[in-house]
Amino acid sequence: MIISRVMTKNPIYVHPDASMTETRSLMDREKVGHLPVLDYNSALVGIVTKEDMIKASPSEATTLDMYEISYLLSKMRVQEIMVKKVLTVDENEVVEEAARIMADKDIGCLPVMRGSLLVGIITDTDLFRVFVNAFGARHKGVRVTVSMGEHPGELAQISGAIAERGGNIVSLVTSEGDDVAHRRGTIKVEGLSRGELEAVMNSIPDVIVEDIRE
């Protein structure tokens, strides 16, 4: 799956000279935690997050009153607190690469580019939706996790056995196993009972059922 299919398109943004007061108000109103910062030529020059704004705000221990704090925030500009060295991804990049970058760099979003043009933003919330869809969380069925042999034809054997019993696979996700000779697979199936699906899995050589539930 490529990023352009799951990103938030035409994201809300601010200019560098926007005040912290109006930026915070915009975030609250639109219920977002990240805003790209574009200059007046529509070039991406930074990104600002709620965390950046919290760090830049006076602490609770300040002796300033609320009016003084409001005044200071109205004078402080986004360009003073934004992250200027912004990591981005191309709209045709795959979702897992965006997830890898975000996990490795411990960041919550990536602006999505088409050349030098900002066309979207992908956030951890967007990736959660991908995760939910990949595991078929909104579909009814029986979910089984198995350890299976890491060799050609194993998935074909599993899917064929399920189809022969009248089952339909609605999601299938694989990941690293406990050793190099095995992979872990999580499969959601409709059309079979828990007992029927467990019997199918147990009938396949080198497949061990680790968990099964409805």
Cα–Cα dist 158/210, whole Å: 15
**Per-residue model confidence as pLDDT tens digits over 155-182:** 999 999 999 999 999 999 999 999 999 9
**Lowest-pLDDT range, 28-37, 59-68, 84-93?**
59-68
What's the rounded mean pLDDT across residues 134-156? 92
Strands 168-176 and 207-213: unpaired
With cut-offs at 50, 70 and 90, classify the pLDDT of residue 67.
low
Which CATH number applies to 3-131? 3.10.580.10
Considering the chain, what is the average pLDDT of its residues?
90
With cut-offs at 50, 70 and 90, classify the pLDDT of residue 63.
very low
Cα–Cα dist 10/91, whole Å: 12
Give the fold, CATH level 3, of 135-213. Alpha-Beta Plaits (3.30.70)
pLDDT at 91 over 80: yes
Domain boundaries, the chain: 3-131, 135-213
- Rounded to 5 degrees, what are φ and ψ at 118? -75, 120
Same fold, 3-131 and 135-213: no
Cα–Cα dist 31/70, whole Å: 21
